[in-house]
Structure 1
Amino acid sequence: MIVPAEAAMELPSRYFSWVDYAVFVGMLFFSALIGIYFAFFAKQKQNTTNEYLMGGRSMGIFPISMSLIASYISGIALLGLPAEMYTFGTQYWMIVLPEIAVSFTMANAYIPVFYELNITSSYEYLCLRFNQSVRILGSAIFIIKMMLYIPLVIYVPALAFNQVTGINLHYVTPAVCLVCIFYTTLGGLKAVVWTDTLQTILMFLGVVLVMILGTAHVGGFKVVFNRSAHSDRLEFFNFDPDPTVRHTIWSVCVGNYFNWLASCSVNQAMVQRCLAMPTIGKAKITVLILALGILSIVSMSCYTGLVIYAAFHDCDPVTTKLVSKSDQILPYFVTQIASSVPGLPGLFVSGVFSAALSSMSTGLNSITGVLYEDFVKPTVKKPWSEAKASLLMKVVVVVVGTICVALVFLVERMGAIIQVAKSLSGITAGALLGTFSLGMFFPWANSTGAMAGGVSSILLVAYISLGTQAHIAAGKISYPKKPFSVSGCSADQLSGLNATLPIIVNEPLDEVLYVFRLSYLYYTMIGVATAIVVGLVVSFATGANKAQDVDPRLLSPVIRRYISYDTKARQKYYEGETYELKAAQKKLIQQPTT
């Protein structure tokens, strides 16, 4: 039986039933089981670096595609996107538009370079193109990025679990993450990929069910869009050119193009999975499936946000303190419609946790690969045995995972998760994408320029991002929200309102530096531009390379065609011989990757 929207808001908070707990525990149990299988029972054990990090380079399209989708659609998206639609309107929904362009760019400009070089860590490229110092810089930036990101994706599902069960998130976080660390440590990439596949299915199932039941709950699609339109939430094409406006069609499409490109094209997690495919053709197919999967899940999550507003259009749970943060609005909504489907809260929380666990396991596996390939392997004089290397990587997973769980305690003190996640990721994403792009598209760039560009990018965007977050926390910057109403609330619900709430007087925007008022979606683009411009200026100031002296395999296929190599050099390249490289680069490019 579907409870009417008005009556549903009067229901008390619903806690997990035994069915819900069974669904949730079942997800964790089968995830752990997959790790045990690949560690002890699979034909190819995870006791070599090639198997542990690359899955033997023999993975199929389906599991890799599902893994990529699960990795990039974290709990941040599943909870943050509906909250964004509910609070600020639908302009952010247009992030789906740049996806096609990002997929095309990845498949044709970036992935072929990594695939031809046959490398394990994407940061090996930076050593081949520049030098070891630039490689270490890129690897360090990536590790910092993931250490900032993983705690966010852990915190989000714990918040949802707290909303539907009442269990303190500080209790459930370590327990669930222990399962993730367990199967990632034992099973390596294959365990991560196949648990991601299971978790992606649960994630889609949970989102689809909540979307369908929620639409029926409020009275259909017409009601959803009518109520959203009346509250001015339907805003898709705001062409305001002002870069300080939080979301416009320009910031969402142009700014987010660089955000997604940084997250997908040069990210170790993406490169590692694409290189696990047997052919580059199959790798490109997985990129296409990734784009379609992201488009689907993002659109469903955004629509669900409108459904939630339609349900609470005259009694906002945030205003009445029924939920403490807007990021809890989706879990609260699930508790209101759960009476019609036993086990729905369990399936929903399993889906959110699945998205988070997949992102965490991917991050841990990628960090392990980078630490081993870029920090340990180049420094040891005598190659380690496969058993010793495998043991070290498993220890790294446990240590890094434990640190990330501890950092969750800091995350809960931050603001809206979508903005926090994008703001923090922009610090490192722009520097990474800019440095890789400098190498692939600008043959004149040298190692000094790459180092200067990467460091300048990090410092500038960190200054903007952290400064903006500090101003927001201090109440000096705020963003206009869409209107809310409590006209339909009962007396009991209104009792949560505090008539003496303090009034925060925002500092006039003219008194806040302009750079702190920029939309957070431009941070990555600013970082990319800084890395490239500074990198080129410094390169030409210190002696730029000649384009013909750079191995064509280190350049994107997009740029190779415009460089005039002499006949002898071009013949060597097309015959597959090693082109003239620095001694260190030549040694690295020819060494086995297993």
Structure 2
Amino acid sequence: MEDKSHTVGTFQVGDYAVFAALFVVSSGIGVFFAIKERKKASSKEFLVGGRQMSCGPVALSLTASFMSAVTVIGAPSDVYRYGASYVIFGVAYTFVVFLTAELFLPVFYRSGITSTYEYLELRFCKLVRVAATLIYIIQTILYTGVVVYAPALALNQVTGFDLWGSIFATGIVCTFYCTLGGLKAVVWTDAFQMVVMVVGFLTVLIQGASRAGGIESVWSTAHTGGRMDVFDFDVNPLRRHTFWTLSVGGTFTWLGIYGVNQSTIQRCISCKTEGHARWALYLNLLGLWIILFCAVVSGLIMYTFYSRCDPWSAGSVSAPDQLMPYFVMEILGAFPGLPGLFVACAFSGTLSTVAASINALATVTYEDFVSQCYRDLSNRAANWISKALCVVFGVACTTMAVAASYMGGIVQAALSIHGMCGGPMLGLFSLGILFPVTNLKGAVGGLIVGITLSFWVGVGAFIYPAPSNNTRPLELSTAGCNFNLTADGSNQTSVSVSALTSDRYWLADSWYSMSYLYYSAVGFIGTVAAGLLITLLTGPMDPKKVKPGLTRSVKDVICFCSEKFMHADFNLSILNDLGDFGMAWEKHTDTEGVIKMEEKVKSDNDNLHENGYTNAAFDHNETSQVKQSFNFLTK
């Protein structure tokens, strides 16, 4: 299709200077940690920062990594077209962070694992671990490549910013500081990039509100245009965005990303204590709310500014994702350096996402494949292999970004893969953690069913787009435009339902028209339901045979507040602090599992001391509490 977009302005020297500064500082952080940590040559130091990170930088890193350029550019456009109901994602974020901190984190942190998929081998078998790791590697490379390409394309088409230069610069810089500085460089660079994102958003908010006539004008115009109708409680799952799709569907979608995703958990277990890891997640929630608020308000300001002349309907931009860059160039183009600041804001999201992905991919590949094949590697060899893997995956993600330019409509499908895989993976981990009776056959069968269902609905929706009555944007006007519409401009916001219904598959207007936010929920429910059914049919597993610490009861999650802050006696507080460990030891009348856990903790401690540092999380939390509880339970 012919590209009808045109640039509002072009980048000046000052814009390029601001953008270049982002890459220079990011690279500098990598060099700093490469020099600072040069004497700590071990894979654990490189991949998980020696498990000595504090909650502050980790919280900023988590927020920056999952608020990618897709959010910076795409979310305001979504609010512009569909209204401020997008803010309901804040409810989903709250549930997601709580469940991650209280359900999944304790299991992963206390088990001392580096790869989240190591848990699957401990709980089920090596086959499940390998399968899950391969799924993660494929979906992450696909998603990361598109995350680099999509915003670069939108910025190129509107601002004239060089497409290939930005793609290759992103890949090279991320690979550079990931390879040199490891996780510590990634975390601290993310923290810096998070600050850039907030500053960039604030610049747009201040100047945009001024140009739109002030906050009162923004509120009044948005309300008149129906953009402030936030609470739509329609339970119809075919509606794109309602309160329920955003809160319930959003919870499942983001829990698949936060709760069991290697990139998230890896940074949480890098914290010096479990308490720091929890605080990192809750502080990250504050960051998510801030970015969400900025994105929503930016969308409302943009709607007010274009309320009389929509550039999308008028054909000034050829795709909705170009709206935010177009708006920025129009309001900031007269100020040298400020358009560059917004591009730096957008690419901060890209850099943080790509860097986190490269580091996580290197970690799971080393832990789940390399270290399993070569168990006698020296610390120096393991460290160099980890660095080499960062280079390999940096090249792979950059190559995927280049390939995305030749995919056309496949890009949308590639972006959906992240969500379609997230639900089944969340279901698989939930089967292992919440249901001690789940056996190997149930886990494998459930995963297959879940992936089949989520890909069925996701791919079907790509082939048969939902009818426009479910996805049509709110009214957009071109009455105030002072130029002629393009040939296709008047058709941008209305698509004939009859045109879609002819020759459509009978599932197209029901199953395939489901809101995209329910894809993860479908995969999760399918995985858990099928997993439990297969388990019951093939013989449930004896909970006593599950290794200690690998399960966690719902009671531990729901009642943790009252149990934590009430004045319980000493022995009970030990069990409550240990959560599922206490319950597991109560079930195990023998001490074999406890001894194995003690041996694992001791092994991790020995490895930490060998490399020149100690870890309070292992020294105090794990070793001491294991011994105290063991003595108490065996009296």
Counterpart residue type for residue 142 of structure 1 = Y
- 1:579 positional shift: 6.6
**Do 1:217 and 1:337's aligned partners in 2 also have CA atoms closer than 8 Å?**
yes
Q: 1:416 to 1:333 in 2, by over 3 A?
A: farther
1:249-398 correspondence to structure 2 within 5 Å: 249-339=243-333, 341-380=335-374, 382-398=375-391
Counterpart residue type for residue 420 of structure 2 = I
- Residues of 1 paired with 2:583 and 2:28: CA distance? 55
State which of 476, 479, 482 in structure 1 corresponds to 2:474: 482
Equivalent in the alignment of 2:139: 145
- Residues of 2 paired with 1:356 and 1:551: CA distance? 40
- 1:525 positional shift: 0.8
Matched, 1:424 2:424: no
- 1:330 positional shift: 0.8
Matched, 1:97 2:91: yes
Matched, 1:211 2:212: no
Matched, 1:16 2:16: no
Equivalent in the alignment of 2:522: 526
Q: TM-score, normalised by structure 1?
A: 0.89
- 1:258 positional shift: 1.0
- Residues of 2 paired with 1:133 and 1:559: CA distance? 30
- Aligned residue for 2:474, secondary structure, equals coil
Deviations 1:191-244 (A, max 9, x none): 111111111110110011111211111011121122222222222111111111
Equivalent in the alignment of 1:463: 456
**Do 2:315 and 2:485's aligned partners in 1 also have CA atoms closer than 8 Å?**
no
**Comparing 464-473 with 537-546, which one deviates more in the overlay?**
464-473
What's the RMSD between the two structures over aligned residues?
2.9
Q: 1:209 to 1:175 in 2, by over 3 A?
A: same
Deviations 1:18-65 (A, max 9, x none): 1111111011011111112222x2045563101110111111222111
Deviations 1:236-261 (A, max 9, x none): 11111111111111111011111111
Matched, 1:173 2:192: no
Q: 1:484 to 1:549 in 2, by over 3 A?
A: same
- Residues of 2 paired with 1:247 and 1:415: CA distance? 23
**Do 2:239 and 2:470's aligned partners in 1 also have CA atoms closer than 8 Å?**
no
- 1:564 positional shift: 7.2
- 1:121 positional shift: 0.5
Equivalent in the alignment of 1:569: 588
**Comparing 252-261 with 162-171, which one deviates more in the overlay?**
162-171
- Aligned residue for 2:367, secondary structure, equals helix
- 1:394 positional shift: 2.3
- Residues of 1 paired with 2:296 and 2:256: CA distance? 23
Q: 1:98 to 1:12 in 2, by over 3 A?
A: closer
**Do 1:160 and 1:349's aligned partners in 2 also have CA atoms closer than 8 Å?**
no
Could you list the runs of 5+ residues in structure 2 that have no partner in the other structure? 1-5, 557-578, 609-635
- Aligned residue for 1:113, secondary structure, equals helix
- 1:376 positional shift: 1.7
- Residues of 2 paired with 1:545 and 1:457: CA distance? 21
Equivalent in the alignment of 2:44: 50
- Aligned residue for 1:94, secondary structure, equals helix
- 1:414 positional shift: 5.9
**Do 1:471 and 1:477's aligned partners in 2 also have CA atoms closer than 8 Å?**
no
- Residues of 2 paired with 1:95 and 1:174: CA distance? 32
Identity of aligned residues (%): 35
Matched, 1:34 2:53: no
- 1:577 positional shift: 3.5
- Aligned residue for 1:532, secondary structure, equals helix
**Do 1:115 and 1:280's aligned partners in 2 also have CA atoms closer than 8 Å?**
yes
State which of 593, 596, 599 in structure 2 corresponds to 1:578: 596
Deviations 1:536-585 (A, max 9, x none): 11122222111222233101254577997686836959x963379xxxxx
1:193-208 correspondence to structure 2 within 5 Å: 193-208=187-202
Q: 1:157 to 1:460 in 2, by over 3 A?
A: same
Q: 1:98 to 1:498 in 2, by over 3 A?
A: closer
Deviations 1:443-466 (A, max 9, x none): 000112111111221122112101
State which of 368, 390, 397 in structure 2 corresponds to 1:404: 397
Deviations 1:437-493 (A, max 9, x none): 0000000001121111112211221121012112239x99972111111111113xx
**Do 1:314 and 1:487's aligned partners in 2 also have CA atoms closer than 8 Å?**
yes
**Do 2:7 and 2:157's aligned partners in 1 also have CA atoms closer than 8 Å?**
no
- Residues of 2 paired with 1:282 and 1:524: CA distance? 29
**Do 2:198 and 2:291's aligned partners in 1 also have CA atoms closer than 8 Å?**
yes
1:409-558 correspondence to structure 2 within 5 Å: 409=402, 411=404, 423-472=416-465, 479-491=471-483, 494=484, 496-498=486-488, 505-507=499-501, 511-513=506-508, 514-556=510-552, 558=554
**Do 1:99 and 1:257's aligned partners in 2 also have CA atoms closer than 8 Å?**
yes
**Do 1:431 and 1:528's aligned partners in 2 also have CA atoms closer than 8 Å?**
yes
**Do 1:108 and 1:558's aligned partners in 2 also have CA atoms closer than 8 Å?**
no
Q: 1:447 to 1:339 in 2, by over 3 A?
A: same
Q: 1:37 to 1:324 in 2, by over 3 A?
A: same
Counterpart residue type for residue 473 of structure 2 = K
Equivalent in the alignment of 2:568: none
**Comparing 552-561 with 186-195, which one deviates more in the overlay?**
552-561
Q: 1:161 to 1:426 in 2, by over 3 A?
A: closer
- Residues of 1 paired with 2:259 and 2:266: CA distance? 11
Q: 1:340 to 1:14 in 2, by over 3 A?
A: closer
- Aligned residue for 2:458, secondary structure, equals helix
**Do 2:31 and 2:177's aligned partners in 1 also have CA atoms closer than 8 Å?**
yes
**Do 1:204 and 1:297's aligned partners in 2 also have CA atoms closer than 8 Å?**
yes
Equivalent in the alignment of 2:629: none
- Aligned residue for 1:79, secondary structure, equals helix
Q: 1:29 to 1:43 in 2, by over 3 A?
A: same
**Do 1:192 and 1:362's aligned partners in 2 also have CA atoms closer than 8 Å?**
yes
Could you list the runs of 5+ residues in structure 1 that have no partner in the other structure? 1-10, 581-585
Aligned length: 572
**Do 2:175 and 2:391's aligned partners in 1 also have CA atoms closer than 8 Å?**
yes
Q: 1:587 to 1:201 in 2, by over 3 A?
A: closer
- Aligned residue for 1:515, secondary structure, equals coil
Deviations 1:125-148 (A, max 9, x none): 111111101111221121122122
Equivalent in the alignment of 1:4: none
Q: 1:290 to 1:442 in 2, by over 3 A?
A: same
**Do 2:59 and 2:284's aligned partners in 1 also have CA atoms closer than 8 Å?**
yes
Q: 1:354 to 1:593 in 2, by over 3 A?
A: farther
**Do 1:243 and 1:251's aligned partners in 2 also have CA atoms closer than 8 Å?**
yes
- 1:342 positional shift: 3.0
- Residues of 2 paired with 1:282 and 1:346: CA distance? 35
Counterpart residue type for residue 76 of structure 1 = V
